[in-house]
Amino acid sequence: MNNKIIIFTDLDGSLLDRKKFHFDIAKHYIHELIAKGTLIIPNTSKTEEEIKSFLRELNIKLPFISENGSEIHNINLINKTLPKKITLARPKKIIYKIFKKNIDKSIIEKCDFVFKMTKKNQTKVLGLKGKKLEISLQRKFTFPFVFNGSSKQKQILLNNSNKLGISFQEGGRVINLGDKVTKGLALKKIVKLLKQNEKKRLSTIAVGDSINDISMLKYSNYPCIISNRTIKIKNKNRLFTNKPAPMGWITIVKKAMNKIEIRN
């Protein structure tokens, strides 16, 4: 094959089962892809420690992007001349200070931050408990919260974020307050670095299932959407599956791989 294939993938709801976070049936196919030279890069709202835990379960080391594009890890595994870590976002304390200082108090009161919740409510919101809950709270760049206000108040919140240089990214379960970074910007950063070191042409596949995946899907050659028809991407190579994760991930990645192989 004349090109290098990179799969940027969201985890929860895209590769991992939305309720129990299982992905056993996808493990063999993932290892098969890697053995053939395909590069897989998790690109998720999860924390660094959560992704490391996922990779231990997968029993492989991979580059990855944590907290919605906030930090890039392990791209030195692709090329030794590249750095082990690239931080794109400011620390969360700075972001929270901007939020508290500039957002109207009546709007702030509608934001139920996960770090302020009881463990019982944290489990209810995130679907995690024990060690998995603990590492999900080890955030360096983002604050997940549930918004309990009206759609009008929510829009005010989103509009203010653009003016203040911060972001509110909606995932499957929560909204994440963070710096003005996205999964798509982190994807573009990696692709740019790899193009400087890779002789083959790069083809990118992105797999996602929610609003905060749109930037990643938009910047990829082959956007793959799992079980969410509300996501609209203008790309002739766009692929969709009704099958939920993890079976949906296997199905749609195979379709994208076939498309690339046909064009070569």
Beta strands 201-208 and 3-9 are parallel
For the chain, residues classed under CATH 3.30.980.20 are: 92-179
pTM: 0.96
For the chain, residues classed under CATH 3.40.50.1000 are: 3-88+182-263
pLDDT tens-digit map of 35-64: 999 999 999 999 999 999 999 999 999 999
Q: Which residues contact 146 (CB under 8 A, 6 or more apart)?
A: 111, 112, 114, 125, 174, 175
pLDDT at 1: 53
| 92-179: CATH topology | Threonyl-tRNA Synthetase; Chain A, domain 2 (3.30.980)
pLDDT at 207: 98
Q: Give backbone dihedrals phi and psi of 161, rounded to 5 degrees, phi first.
A: -60, -40
| 3-88+182-263: CATH topology | Rossmann fold (3.40.50)
Q: From start to end of 67-151, where are the E strands?
A: 71-73, 85-87, 111-113, 143-147
What separation, in Å, do the N-terminal and C-terminal C-alpha atoms of the chain show?
7
The tens-digit pLDDT sequence of the chain (264 residues) is 568 999 999 999 999 998 889 999 999 999 999 999 999 999 999 999 999 999 999 999 999 999 999 999 999 999 999 999 999 999 999 999 999 999 999 999 999 999 999 999 999 999 999 999 999 999 999 999 999 999 999 999 989 998 999 999 988 789 999 999 999 999 999 999 999 877 778 999 999 999 999 999 999 999 999 999 999 999 999 999 999 999 999 999 999 999 998 877
